[in-house]
Amino acid sequence: NAGVTQTPKFQVLKTGQSMTLQCAQDMNHNSMYWYRQDPGMGLRLIYYSASEGTTDKGEVPNGYNVSRLNKREFSLRLESAAPSQTSVYFCASRGRGDEQFFGPGTRLTVL
């Protein structure tokens, strides 16, 4: 039982490049989330998926797209990376309760 896994752990991009962050959970949870964490800003919700086949914008969705591929997997795509997207990205999932289970994070630097 791995919980929530994320790949890659680290990534450096140049401005304008694209990439996809991968997330998978093995807890059979319906809801999945993508957050970014910046110093002094806490966790800010980018996108979430309440169930397979649905996605909704969070607080800071601009510059990102998501895909809920199946119940296990929820990916985050940066189509044209900008330095303002330098951050640590966390994926999380939630079952029937309020607890969210977080992955280990992806540290992204955009030059």
Partner 1 sequence: QKEVEQDPGPLSVPEGAIVSLNCTYSNSAFQYFMWYRQYSRKGPELLMYTYSSGNKEDGRFTAQVDKSSKYISLFIRDSQPSDSATYLCAMSAGYTGGFKTIFGAGTRLFVKA
Residues 22-81 touching partner 1, rule: CB under 8 A, are 31, 35, 40-43, 45, 50
* Nearest CB to partner 1, comparing residues 17 and 22: 22
Q: Which amino acid is at 4?
A: V
C-alpha torsion angle, residues 52, 56, 87, 92 (rounded to 10) = -40
Burial of 25 from C-beta contacts in 10 A (0-12 / 13-18 / 19+): buried
Asked if residue 103 binds partner 1 (CB under 8 A), the reply is yes
Contact range with partner 1 by CB under 8 A, out of 14-22, 61-69, 73-81, 103-111: 103-111
User: How many contiguous H segments (helices) and E segments (strands) does the chain have?
Assistant: 0, 11
Binding status of residue 8 toward partner 1 by CB under 8 A: no
List residues near partner 1 by CB under 8 A. Answer: 4, 31, 35, 40-43, 45, 50, 90, 92, 94, 97-105
